[in-house]
Structure 1
Amino acid sequence: MPADLFGHEDIEPAHFTKRQKLPGKVEEVLKTLSPEDFQTKPVEGLDLTFEGIPGDRHAGFTRRSGGREPWYARGTEMCNERQVSILSIEEMDEIAKRMKIPKLAAGWIGANIVTSGLVRLSLIPPRTRLVFEGGVVVRVDGDNVPCRIAGGAIAEHVPGREGLDLLFPKVARRLRGLVGFIEVPGKIKAGETVTAHVPEQWIYKP
C-alpha cells in the first residue's frame, strides 16, 4: 500500500484554507405566525430550541423530503437540517438590484435571521458554527437554493411586474442565504453580534 494513501504527502498546503472567525451583526429576527405560513414577520426575539423555532413552519427534529432530495422517495422522514433560514442585508440588496425591484424584504422569502457584515454569507461553507452574542449556536448545513415559491411570494409585493417568480431562482443563486440547525439553544435578538467560526477547508480529490 502506498505510504501516502493516508499520509497525504501528495497534498500541497496551498490546497487547504485555515479556519477563520468572521464578525457580523444581527439586523432582524423573524418567524412565521403559523405552521401554514411561508412568509415570516419580525419579532422582538427569537426563542430557539433543539427543534428549531417552536410553532414555525420548519420546526422539528425531523422533516419530510422534497424536491431537494431526489435520492429519497418524496415524503421520506429525515433529519431536519433546515430549521432556520439566515439571510444577509448585503445579498438581499444585490438580489433586489438584479430583479430591478425597489427592495426585497427578508420576510417575503421566509427568513428567520438577517445579518450584516458577514461577507458573501451564502458561500460560507457547511460545518460553520454561527455563534451569537447571547449564547445561541447555529450549525450551517449549506446554502439555500432559491425556488419559484419564494419568487412568487416576492411577486405578491411587487404589483405590475410579470415573471418575478421565475426570475428570482435565476438571479438569486448563491445569494439566497444559508440554512442550518440549532446546536445550542437560547434566544437571539436584533442588535447582537454573531461570529462565523469557519472550519478548515480543502478540496477533496480521491
Structure 2
Amino acid sequence: MCSMSEEDQFYTKPTSVPLSGSEALARRSVLQMAGAATATVAIPNAFAHAHTSSASAPAATDVISLHFKVNSAEQRLAVDPRQSLLDVLRERLDLTGTKKGCNTGACGACTVHVNGQRIVSCLTLAAMHEGAEITTIEGIAKGNELHPLQAAFIEHDGLQCGYCTPGQIMSGVACISEGHAGTPEEIQRWMSGNICRCGAYPGIVAAISETAKRG
C-alpha cells in the first residue's frame, strides 16, 4: 500500500468538528444580526432609487390644437401630438371604416386620402396634417348613392371578410385618378400595397378596371 506523501497530507480536507450548543447559538445570533444590518441598509437605498426614478420621469406630453377638414366637415381637436392619424380618425372622430390592420404600414387597410393623395394613416402623426383635407371611406359616397368603385366591388365580388375592403377601395379610387388603371397588370402593380388575406384579388382588379373604363 502506498504511503501518503507530505504534499497529500498538506491538502487533506480537515475533518469538521461539531459545534457545541453554546457555539451554535452564538453563530446563529451573529448571522441574524448581519442579516438585519444588511436589510437596514438595503431598504433605504431601494426607496432612494424609487424616489430618484420618479423625480427623473418625463412630464406628461401636452396636447396640441389641431384643425383639419375630414369628409368636408371642419374638425377642431385637442390631440396628443404622438397620436397617429389613424387613431385620431377612429378614436376621436368615430370614423371606424378606416381599419387598423398591421399598424406598421404593410397591409394598406388604413388607407385614406390627404389632400388628394393616398397614404397609410397608421404611419403618420395627426399633428402633421394641420389644415389638410382628409377623405375616408365614409366620405366617398354621395348620400345613399355609392361611389362607382364601391358598387363595382359588390358587382365583382371584390371582397370576402371585408376587413381590408375600405383600404382597397380608397387605394383603388386613387389608382384610377393617378392614371394607373390601364391594364390588369398595371392595377396589380399599383395596388400591391394593399393586402387581402382572403385572396379576393381577381374581383378587386376587375372592379377597378371596369370603373376606370367607365370614367
* Superposition TM-score tier, normalisation by shorter sequence: under 0.3
TM-score with structure 2 setting the length: 0.23
The structure with higher relative contact order (CA 8 Å, sep 6+) is 1
Which protein has the bigger helix share?
A: 2
User: Which protein is bigger by CA-based radius of gyration?
Assistant: 2
